[in-house]
Amino acid sequence: MKTLLTILFLSVSIYAATTEPNKTPSLMECEMIIEMFNFGIDQGNAVTKEQVIGVIEACEGQTKHQNTVDTMKKLLGTI
């Protein structure tokens, strides 16, 4: 019985290490990426496809910034 419990315990830790739950970005991460995006624009830098995708990925699912995500998706089609 002790061996069985040890095997189960070890297999659970291995399984937990190989699977990662679906992580949604936090609101603070979303807002930080939007601020970095806006700062780049204020500095006169060109908008890149990677920046737009970063904003979309970071803010997808955040209801507070859904308009921003929708705008970025439209902008992605023009880049």
Each residue's pLDDT tens digit, 28-77: 999 999 999 999 999 999 988 999 999 999 999 889 999 999 999 998 88
Predicted confidence band at 17 (pLDDT cuts at 50, 70, 90)?
Answer: very low
Between 50 and 2, name the one with better pLDDT. 50
In whole angstroms, give the CA distance from residue 63 to residue 28: 13
pLDDT higher than 90, residue 19: no
Report the pLDDT value the prediction gives residue 47, as an integer from 0 to 100: 87
Domain ranges of the chain: 23-79
- 57's CB contacts (< 8 A; 6+ apart) are 25
3-state helix, strand, coil in the chain (%, to 5): 75, 0, 25
